[in-house]
Structures are given as structure tokens and as C-alpha cells.
Amino acid sequence: MQSGIHDLAREVFGLYAQEQYGRALNLVEQSIAALPHHRSRMTFWAACLECRLQRPADALQRLQALVAKGGWLNPDRLQSDDDLLALRDAPGWNELVAICEQRRADEQTQHVPEVQIELAENSGNDPSPLIVALHMAGGSAEEIRAHWLPVTGMGYSLAIPQGDVLLGPGEYSWSDQPAGLIGRHTSRLSRTHKLDSERIVLGGASRGAGHAVELALSGQPFKAKGFIAVAGAPRIEVVRPLVDIAKGAGVRGVLIAGDRDPVLPRVRDVHQLLEASGIDVRLQVIPGLGHEYPANFADLLRPAVEFISTGTETKSRIK
């Protein structure tokens, strides 16, 4: 069911792009009961669509009803999204935002970042290699589990840490320096599970992809075999000082991005820099894809994992 929010988002945003706001709103309303853990996010979508339909009073009422029942929304998103501009001067708006800010602060003090672990299938008694997958900003460990779970059938165990920064209900992000958090998770897992610390791959999407690439290149908090980055990469000035470290360590990488993704130029720049520096890295651009996981990500994972593991087997399939 968790993957359903991504399928729904793809449909809703597709209708939004076509300015079919009424159809998008109907779809959200029909789906809220089936995805209760995402009620806050979907209520926010509904409010944005109400504003697009020139019904700001209804939009505000939706948001206030959620808060009145003890819920809250990402206050940064409330303040920054242009769809809600019509609400900024409405009576009760500032109070709504203030309540959300306070509830987020209260929950942040209680948030203990956790990590999900899925062991490799048929691993036997031998230590298994490990993939550490980092979610997008505004996502969660549970939301990306289905995307990365196929690696357990490839002989890899899978660790999915939860971000340490709370953005909204069930929505997490990463601090600017997540190496310590990820290192602690991995060290703890290595004490309780049979994991091969010499064969770790970092993966992620969006901001999680940026962190995965940076950590793999830097060799911190552990030496990684490589990275698999979806819809994201670090800034070029972050990557440049790390290329010699990564080249010496033999790091390999796979970058996957859509040709409609706004971050594609950054991904291309990082690919070109790494390739020119002698680092074995591949870029795969997916036609028609925006800032999201490809629908066939499971089909792309195996060649990416094999490429990082062997360096030669899948070069013809990863371009």
C-alpha cells in the first residue's frame, strides 16, 4: 500500500500539469481513506487544488479541519507553495501555520531516527554485501522499501535509514551532514547481522541520492564500493574535492535521471566530472521521466548492482 502514494502522486501531478484540477481533486478525495498514513500530504494537495479551482475558503477549511482533529502539515510547505498564495492574508492563516510549527517542534524533540533492515535471501552463513538506501527529502524509509527490496534477491541485504529531520507527518529529510547517523546505523547492524563491511553500496533518490554520492566518494563514514543515485547528485563544488579519494578507492557509480527532471543538468555535470577524473561511472537518462523513480526501477537495479560489483559485466547495458 505504501507504494500507492507514489502512484497516486504521479496521477495527481499529471492531471495538475494538464490543468485538470477538478479531476485531480476527485482522485485525491477518493484515495484518502485508502492511504490514511498520508492524510496530511493529501489534504495539502486537496487544498492546493481547491485554490486552483478558485475556492480558497474551501481550501482553508480543509486545512483547519485537519488541524482541529489534532493533525498538522509541513509549515514550510504551507508558507512557500504558490498555490496557497490566496490564503496568506486570510483570517486564521497565521494561527494555522503557528500551530503546525509548534506541533512539528514537539514531535522533532521525540523523533528517534530508525533503520529498516531486510536480509539477503538465501544468504546462508556467509556475510552478505549491503546496500544502504536513502529516501528523498519529504519521504520515509517505508516509502522506498518496495523500490530497493529486489536487491535482497541478488544476494544483498538492505538497510533503509530514516532521516533525522522531521518536515511533516511521516515526512523526513536529512541534516546537512548525515554521515554520523548513517555510520552509527551501519555499525550497529554489523554487530547484529552477518554483513560484509567491505562490500557496501550507497543508494538513494533526490536529496538522498546527493548524500549517497557524496558519502561514497568521500569514503565516509565507511569505504563503499559505489553508489546508485536516482534523480539527484551533489553540487559540483562538493564533488570536485573528492575525486582523488574516490579514484584511489576504486569507487564506481550509476546515475539514473529522467530527461524531464530539473536536476538533470547537475547530474550530467557530476557525471562528466567523475568520468573525466577516471572514475568508472555510468549515466542512464530515462525518456519522459521527471523527478521520481522510474517505473521499471527494479529492472535497472540488477545491472547497476552488477556493474558496481564487477565493473565490466553490465557496461553494455548501462550507458
Identity of the residue numbered 311: G
Asked, for residue 315, whether it belongs to a domain, the answer is no
Q: Which segments within the chain are labelled E, that is strand?
A: 115-118, 128-134, 157-161, 165-168, 171-173, 195-205, 226-230, 252-258, 280-286
List, in order, residues 6 or more apart from 100 with CB less than 8 Å away.
Answer: 67, 72, 73, 74, 75, 78
Q: pLDDT tens, position by position, for the chain (319 residues)?
A: 344 787 898 899 989 999 999 999 999 999 998 988 889 999 999 999 999 999 999 999 999 999 999 999 999 999 999 999 999 999 999 999 999 999 999 999 998 888 999 999 876 678 899 999 999 999 999 889 999 999 999 999 999 999 999 999 989 999 888 888 898 888 888 888 889 888 999 999 999 999 999 999 999 888 999 999 999 999 999 999 999 999 999 999 999 999 999 999 999 999 999 999 999 999 999 999 999 999 899 999 999 999 999 876 544 445 4
- For 198, the grid coordinates are 567491505
Closest to 116 (Cα-Cα) out of 102, 135, 103, 96: 135
Q: Which of 51, 81, 110 is the last residue of a domain?
A: 110
Asked, for residue 316, whether it belongs to a domain, the answer is no
User: Cα–Cα–Cα angle for 167, 170, 171, nearest 5°?
Assistant: 35
Number of domains in the chain: 2
pLDDT of 2 reads: 40
The pTM (predicted TM-score) of the whole model is 0.87
Radius of gyration, alpha carbons of the chain = 21
In a shared domain, residues 47 and 106: yes
Counts for the chain of helices (H) and strands (E), in that order: 13, 9
Place of cell 552478505: 128
pLDDT of 184 reads: 87
CATH of the domain at 87: 1.25.40
In a shared domain, residues 127 and 238: yes
Domain that holds residue 185: 115-310
Place of cell 547484529: 192
CA distance 313 to 295: 24
CA distance 231 to 204: 9
pLDDT of 318 reads: 53
Q: Which of 78, 110, 142 is the last residue of a domain?
A: 110
In a shared domain, residues 103 and 120: no
Closest to 289 (Cα-Cα) out of 251, 255, 262, 317: 262
Distances (CA, A) of 177 to 8, 81, 131, 220: 32, 27, 19, 11
CA distance 131 to 156: 7
Distances (CA, A) of 103 to 69, 71, 79, 140: 13, 9, 16, 19
Q: Which of 50, 75, 110 is the last residue of a domain?
A: 110
- DSSP character at residue 117: E
CB 41 within 8 A of CB 81: no
Place of cell 551532514: 177
pLDDT of 188 reads: 85
Strand partners, 43: none
